[in-house]
Amino acid sequence: MIKQITPILLSLLTLMMVVSCQKDENNSGSNLDKQLQDALLAASQGQGLEFFTMPASTDLDRIPQDPKNPLSEAKVILGRHLYHETGLAIDPKKPEGKFTYSCASCHHSRAGFQAGRKQGIGDGGNGFGLTGEGRNPNSLYLIEELDLQPIRTPSAMNGAWQPNQLWNGQFGGTFLNAGTEASWTEGTPKFTNHRDLKV
């Protein structure tokens, strides 16, 4: 039986290889590539295609940063620890929630630094899963006691290239927020924009 099937399988495999190696006719060769390259060059602010290459995460000099608070290897390591540090979770709604949440509860690296579920759960969440999908409300908490955000958790990745933050863009004193100083009211989080932190 195996002897009879083997030649058929082999010819099928060969056919699949031939088919998959054929050029995609709809792509019409390099024309699309050229169009894409031209569009990228036009958007590169005169810097060429290299403008779109991300530096390595260890190449700190090439990452946008606040000149008043320059990056260093030690700060990066400290940030990574603080970001995952459940020891900072000292003010939960219920004693059982103590030390059970961190930034990574809602911005999980394996979920592209998003929550991995529709709404991230900080305090009052339980578990994790492989990509954040296994974080669920702790049964000891009422739904209204959960630290749930009413909006999807955005990725916290590569924020250095993002002069304005949050879905409504309210954070950051430059770029789209330049000229909106009148709304940076004292006593609100937007007041922080006056600190003139730059990327």
* Residues of the shown chain interacting with ligand HEC in the complex, contacts defined by CB under 6 A: 83, 101, 103, 105-107, 120, 122, 147, 149, 151, 153-154, 156, 159, 162, 165-167
Q: How far apart are CA 84 and CA 109, in angstroms?
A: 10
Token pair recorded at residue 27: 């792509």
Q: Cβ of residue 25: shortest distance to ligand HEC, in angstroms? A: 40
Q: Cβ of residue 151: shortest distance to ligand HEC, in angstroms? A: 5
Q: Cβ of residue 142: shortest distance to ligand HEC, in angstroms? A: 16
Measured CA to CA in angstroms, residue 8 lies from 3, 18, 22, 83 at distances of: 10, 15, 21, 55
For ligand HEC, the closer of residues 42 and 90 by Cβ is 90
Q: Cβ of residue 168: shortest distance to ligand HEC, in angstroms? A: 6
Q: Cβ of residue 60: shortest distance to ligand HEC, in angstroms? A: 18
For ligand HEC, the closer of residues 101 and 141 by Cβ is 101
For ligand HEC, the closer of residues 72 and 155 by Cβ is 155
Q: How far apart are CA 33 and CA 90, in angstroms?
A: 54
CB atoms closer than 10 angstroms to residue 93: 15
Q: Phi-psi bin for 146: left (phi > 0), alpha (psi -120 to 50), beta? A: beta
For ligand HEC, the closer of residues 27 and 191 by Cβ is 191
Using CA of residue 63, residue 175, residue 177, residue 113, what is the dihedral sign?
A: negative
Measured CA to CA in angstroms, residue 16 lies from 4, 22, 24 at distances of: 19, 10, 14
For ligand HEC, the closer of residues 60 and 164 by Cβ is 164
Token pair recorded at residue 140: 């000891």
